[in-house]
Amino acid sequence: MFKKFIICTIVACSTFSQAQQGTSSPYSFYGIGSLKFKGTVENQSMGGLSVYTDSIHINLRNPASFAGKNLSFYNNEARPVKYAIGTSFSSTKLKTNTATDKAGNSSVDYLAIVLPMGKLGFGFGLIPFSSVGYKLQSRNADDQIQYRYRGEGGVNEVFFGVGYQLHDNLKIGVDAHYNFGSISNTNIAFGYNDQGQLLQYQSREVNRSDIGGFSFNFGLAFAKSISKNLELMATATYTPLANLSSENRSQFATISIDSTDREFVVTSSEVDLAALNLANTNLTLPSKTSFGIGIGRPRKWFAGIDYTLLNTSEFSSNFISIDNASFENASSISIGGFFIPKYDSFNSYFKRVVYRAGLRLEQTGLVVNNESIDELGISFGVGVPVGRLFSNANIGFEIGQRGTTSSNLVQENFFNVSLSLSLNDRWFEKRKFN
């Protein structure tokens, strides 16, 4: 099993290194792009719910989940090593007051391993933080292309965290993230002669930011039996404000564009950003707080609610310009849960399947043309047992809507499909001799 996971790791790291495009949203034009969901397919299938923690699944949103009690299945000797990898595909219908279009993209969403060591648990992995992937153009009164915009890249995170079982009912944890990536934004201005014919040469501006720096996340997880068959869970996380460094470049060029939209540089020049004190700038990531609470019957069902507050108004960058837009504080509510007919059934495979569903409502914090960009998602999915122990494969679906057609904006109707493997194995099994 571990060899297979190593192969998956190599493939995933290669994909990340090639700056995958994880979004097709025009709203990724603003700031550092669209923020990615930091969670597993299991979380996504429950509307983004992350309050639930156990000893056989990785919870990327709360480092306290890396710790845990030993399993009775293992005679209370240990917990399994957990590894997980997730991918997704998104199909989006873009709609304005005058036109519609379609877009699609796929991405590797996370790769993680959690190692148990007594009351401690160590987790590390790779996840995307934000993604930029847009192609836009504006036209003049004569329906001629005036400007063309495109962007690509994003910010990824390598994380390492530790969780500790402080008490039978309480776990704490912290993880450190190294954020890295590059964002490129291109703007082409089209010129026409007096007869309305396109000029031979056009003007192009390319701005690139290479981003790096650390951020941290602190977590608490509480679980307590309140009756013979019911267990109460509560979680809290806090991510402080973080300042990242940004190395910036800007280039102006005269280009020609052929009939297939290929661009050929005629002349180019680098902007002296050092003279403008913009070659090296700071980029501020906002602080985030989340709370969750839920109740359920262990290994049978669970239902809960999460609330997250992201202080998006704290975002700032001296280099990344934001036209006709601003940021306000963002928030989201997730409601969801799961149901297992009979987790230890020997005569029915489908009784051991985990059925998940959820709903999320999100205020993204982005305000464009004085319109707040909101998002709604309805999700469901299943987890099917694979191999031995408690390993499973997960598939999740989400349908939703982002944005509005008001104020000449774009409404996105999306359908997401997510796949993951959640694997468990024993690395340090005690050998017994008679």
- pLDDT per position as a tens digit, 5-58: 444 444 444 445 444 567 889 999 999 999 999 999 999 999 999 999 988 899
Q: Are residues 292 and 237 in contact, defined by beta-carbon separation less than 8 angstroms?
A: no
Tell me the mean pLDDT in the region 352-371: 96
- What's the pLDDT band for 427 if we cut at 50, 70, 90? low
What is the per-residue pLDDT for 66?
A: 95
At 16, give phi and psi (nearest 5°): -60, -40
| C-alpha separations of 375 from 42, 307, 324, 365 in Å | 20, 15, 20, 10
Nearest to 366 by CA among 283, 310, 416: 310
Per-residue pLDDT, averaged over 400-422, amounts to: 95
pLDDT for the residue numbered 5: 45
pLDDT at 188: 96
Residue 14 has a pLDDT of: 47
pLDDT surpasses 70 at 372: yes
pLDDT averaged over every residue in the chain? 90
Residue pair 397/417 in contact (Cβ under 8 Å)? The answer is yes
pLDDT of residue 12: 47
Q: Can you give the pLDDT at residue 160?
A: 98
The answer to whether 424 and 95 have CB atoms below 8 angstroms apart is no
pLDDT digits (tens, 9 = 90+) for 225-247: 999 999 999 999 999 999 999 99
Neighbour count for residue 167 (Cβ, 10 Å) = 9
Mean pLDDT confidence for 304-333: 92
Helix (H) or strand (E) holding 113: strand 100-117
Q: What percent of the chain has pLDDT over 70?
A: 91
Tell me which of 12-26, 194-208, 284-298, 417-431 is least confident: 12-26
Q: Which two tokens stand for residue 80?
A: 């399994």
pLDDT of res. 428: 54
**Which range (21-25, 51-55, 108-112, 198-202) has the least confidence?**
21-25
Measured CA to CA, the distance from residue 427 to residue 2 in angstroms comes to 9
- Residue 49 pairs with which residues in a beta bridge? none
Mean pLDDT of 52-79: 80
- The domain covering 2-247+281-425 belongs, at the CATH homologous superfamily level, to Outer membrane protein transport protein (OMPP1/FadL/TodX) (2.40.160.60)
Tell me what pLDDT residue 390 has.
79
- The residues spanned by each domain of the chain are 2-247+281-425
Q: What is the pLDDT at residue 16?
A: 52
Q: pLDDT digits over 319-357, tens only?
A: 887 778 899 999 999 999 999 999 888 888 899 999 999
For residue 186, name the pLDDT band (cuts at 50, 70, 90).
Answer: very high
Amino acid letter, 388? R
- What confidence tens digit (pLDDT) does each residue in 116-133 have? 988 899 999 999 999 999
Query: Which segments of 230-287 are extended strands (E)?
Result: 231-239, 242-257, 263-270, 280-285
Q: Which residue has the higher pLDDT, 415 or 10?
A: 415
Residue 387 falls in which region: left (phi positive, over 0), alpha (psi -120 to 50) or beta: left
**CB–CB of 135/101 below 8 Å?**
no
What Å distances lie between residue 218 and 68, 115, 312, 428, CA to CA?
16, 18, 19, 28
